[in-house]
């Protein structure tokens, strides 16, 4: 077939190769519609080749001393740091988030890479006393094999590094299938791995659809771990399919994160936190605040501040440094937010601001920052993930009511409370059923050295980031060394009857 100027390939077993399908899909800029490049529409056979390469590479990669694996990751971190300006700009063009946020996404990738490279010299196990004399007992972390890394569009650099870096430093190998909306950033990351000297087959990238590449990864018996960030529906399918070959499944799914604002809160500070959490990245963060649970007594004051500030946000192409809110990722995402505005209206909520497309001569997928007012706790806009620049203001009576409303949804990623009352803050920490809670800050801005993940339908109990991530990519081996030179049995077998 005829190929466009910027035609990219898969990377399998240390070589850049076309898909055997010979087909490509197009990657476009969501702010302008401009073509960014075309990428292979890979097949099951391409996926099998990548898994075979990763499987073969695992035999030697697992035996590399971890500090040596880490040296390569440190080099990757340096290359990411050196290329931060270029990666940032490309991300804004490919994904749409404004330059400062794209820079933050790249920075999170750099931080995670350094952090996990550091694990190459830690990866602590336990040594414990043994029951018998002349016996030694310890535990060590062991890798599992090939990891399928399936990533979303919203953090094109940060999320792949959250998954790839702990997987690799612990001795696993990977097949990476990035979102078809952001294949270029993924490609650039893999180029950096290659440049840093990662041995062939340790990381492979296969572009293409979930129904082909993704599905094959879920079924392939040589894939031992699947790490997936995306929707609840797909996550359930991943878990179900992976169960047939007893894979370890790590899921990072939806959110319906709430910020509570109590009547003693600093309303200006709260309004700033809400704005940033609801409309940053055009609301396309798993951690975005799509609910604000506000004490009746301060409802009007907070609503007025939010509307005024939301209307001052500048919408447009994220390459323009004056712009605060970029486009949504694609037409389907834009349609979904607009559908929810219709639902909010039908359910009897107020549309305090926004609630419509933003055009103003721009071609992209823009939606006005939107606030639904006087939302009742069980309305659909109060319970379903929207993943766009829209948030629901839900009035509440007191702290108990606020916590009950917050916990009423099926997700449990991130939560926040604005209050000056230390007792209320600690009750919220204890009772908000989420994996992350912020006090006097919005719901976004998780740091990479603490566990990231959520309760309920947000996931299946695993965590990314911090040392908790190591649990996803390793399993424990307990080791006993008997240096007595004779049969000692064990304490339980030496008891008088």
Site residues, ligand UN1 (CB under 6 A): 108, 154-155, 285-287, 444-446
Pick from 276, 344, 348: which is nearest to 306 by CA? 276
Please tell me what DSSP assigns to residue 198. Answer: P
Instruction: Tell me how far, at minimum, the Cβ of 446 lies from ligand UN1, in Å.
Output: 3
**Cβ nearer to ligand UN1, comparing 329 with 446:** 446
For the bound state, the minimum distance from the C-beta of residue 97 to ligand UN1, rounded and expressed in Å, comes to: 11
Residue 322 C-beta: closest distance to ligand UN1, Å:
23
C-alpha atoms less than 13 angstroms from C-alpha of 108 in its C-beta half-sphere? 24
Element (H or E) spanning 225, and its range? strand 223-229
H or E segment to which residue 139 belongs: strand 135-143
Instruction: Give all strands (DSSP E) within 244-338, no chain letters.
Output: 248-252, 257-261, 289-295
Neighbours of 124 (CB within 10 A): 11
Total Cβ atoms within 10 A of residue 286: 27
Residue number with CB closer to ligand UN1 (41 or 163): 163
Tell me whether residue 209 or residue 445 sits nearer to ligand UN1 (CB atom).
445
Answer yes or no: 311 catalytic. Answer: no
Rounded CA separation 438/428 (Å): 9
Min dist CB 404 to ligand UN1, Å, is: 25
Measured from the CB of residue 456, what is the shortest distance to ligand UN1 in angstroms?
Answer: 16
Active-site residue, from 286, 385, 396, 464: 286
CB of 108 to ligand UN1, least distance (A): 6
**146 and 174 Cβ atoms separated by less than 8 Å:** yes
For the bound state, the minimum distance from the C-beta of residue 405 to ligand UN1, rounded and expressed in Å, comes to: 22
CA distance 477 to 139: 5
Q: Smallest distance from the beta carbon of 390 to ligand UN1, in angstroms?
A: 16
As a three-state string, the secondary structure of 337-364 is: HHHHHHHHHHHCCEEEECCCECCCCCCC
- Is the C-alpha dihedral spanning 484, 489, 492, 496 positive or negative? negative
> Closest separation between CB of residue 477 and ligand UN1, Å?
32
Task: Mark whether 384 is an active-site residue.
Answer: no
Closest to 354 measured CA to CA, from 312, 392, 311, 292: 311
Minimum distance from residue 58 beta carbon to ligand UN1 (Å) = 28
Handedness of CA 24, 26, 106, 145 (dihedral sign): negative
Per-residue burial over 237-263, b if 16 or more Cβ lie within 10 Å, else e, is: bbbebbeeeebbbbbbbbbbbbbbbbb
Looking at the Cβ atoms of 108 and 338, the one nearer to ligand UN1 is 108
Nearer to ligand UN1, 47 or 458 (CB): 458
By beta-carbon proximity to ligand UN1, the closer residue of 286 and 425 is: 286
Question: Is 381 or 444 the residue whose CB approaches ligand UN1 more closely?
Answer: 444
Choice among 101, 187, 252, 464 that is catalytic:
252
C-alpha of 211 from chain center: 21
**Which residues have a Cβ under 8 Å from the Cβ of 361 and sit 6 or more positions away?**
none
Report long-range pairs for 305-309 (Cβ below 8 Å, ≥24 apart).
305/267, 305/268, 305/271, 306/271, 306/274, 306/275, 306/352, 306/371, 306/393, 307/352, 307/353, 307/371, 309/271, 309/272, 309/275
Q: Residue 175 contacts by C-beta under 8 Å, 6 or more apart in sequence? A: 47, 50, 51, 54, 146, 147, 148, 149, 204, 205, 206, 217, 223
Smallest CA-to-CA distance from 163 within 221, 216, 230 is with 230
If you ran DSSP here, which 8-state letter would residue 492 be given?
G
Compare residues 119 and 385 and give the one whose CB is closer to ligand UN1: 385
- Which is closer to ligand UN1, CB of 448 or CB of 470? 448
For ligand UN1, the closer of residues 113 and 212 by Cβ is 113
Rounded Cα distance, 143 and 55, in Å: 12
Residues with catalytic annotation? 252, 286
């Amino acid at each position: 077939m005829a190929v466009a100027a910027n035609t990219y390939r898969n990377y399998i077993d240390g070589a850049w190769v076309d898909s055997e399908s010979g087909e490509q899909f197009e990657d476009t800029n969501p702010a302008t519609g401009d073509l960014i490049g075309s990428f292979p529409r890979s097949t099951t056979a391409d996926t099998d080749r990548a898994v075979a390469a990763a499987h073969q590479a695992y035999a030697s990669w697992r035996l590399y001393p971890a500090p040596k694996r880490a040296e390569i990751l440190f080099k990757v971190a340096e290359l990411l740091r050196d290329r931060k300006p270029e990666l940032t700009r490309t991300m804004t063009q490919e994904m749409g988030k404004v330059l400062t946020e794209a820079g933050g996404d790249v920075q999170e990738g750099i931080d995670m890479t350094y952090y996990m490279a550091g694990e190459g010299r830690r990866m602590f196990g336990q040594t414990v006393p043994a029951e018998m004399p002349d016996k030694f007992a310890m535990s060590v972390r062991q890798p599992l094999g090939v990891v399928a890394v399936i990533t979303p569009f919203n953090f094109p650099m940060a999320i792949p590094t959250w998954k790839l870096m702990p997987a690799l430093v612990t001795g696993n190998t990977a097949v990476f299938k990035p979102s078809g909306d952001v294949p270029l950033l993924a490609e650039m990351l893999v180029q950096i791995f290659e440049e840093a000297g990662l041995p062939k087959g340790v990381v492979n990238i296969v572009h293409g659809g979930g129904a082909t590449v993704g599905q094959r990864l879920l079924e392939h018996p040589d894939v031992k771990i699947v790490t997936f960030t995306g929707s609840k529906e797909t996550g359930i399918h991943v878990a179900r399919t992976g169960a047939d070959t007893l894979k370890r499944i790590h899921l990072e799914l939806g959110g319906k994160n709430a910020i509570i604002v109590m009547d003693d809160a600093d309303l200006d500070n709260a309004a700033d936190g809400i704005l940033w959490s609801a409309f940053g990245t055009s609301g396309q963060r798993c951690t975005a605040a799509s609910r604000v649970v506000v004490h009746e007594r301060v409802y009007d004051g907070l609503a007025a501040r939010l509307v005024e500030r939301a209307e001052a946000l500048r919408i447009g192409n994220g390459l323009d440094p004056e712009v605060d809110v970029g486009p949504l990722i694609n037409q389907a995402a834009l349609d979904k937010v607009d559908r929810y505005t219709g639902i909010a209206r039908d359910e009897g909520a107020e549309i305090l601001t926004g609630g419509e497309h933003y055009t103003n001569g721009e071609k992209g997928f823009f939606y006005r920052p939107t606030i639904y007012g006087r939302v009742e706790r069980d309305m659909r806009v109060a319970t379903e993930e929207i993943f766009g620049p829209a948030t629901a203001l839900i009035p509440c009576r007191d702290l108990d009511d606020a916590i009950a409303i917050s916990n009423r949804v099926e997700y449990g990623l991130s939560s926040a409370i604005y209050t000056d009352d230390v007792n209320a803050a600690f009750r919220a920490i204890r009772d908000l059923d989420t994996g992350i809670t912020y006090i006097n800050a919005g719901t976004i801005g998780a740091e990479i050295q603490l566990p990231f993940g959520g309760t309920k339908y947000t996931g299946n109990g695993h965590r990314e980031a911090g040392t908790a991530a190591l649990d996803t990519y390793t399993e424990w081996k307990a080791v006993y060394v008997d240096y007595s030179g004779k049969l000692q049995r064990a304490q339980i077998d030496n008891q008088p009857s």
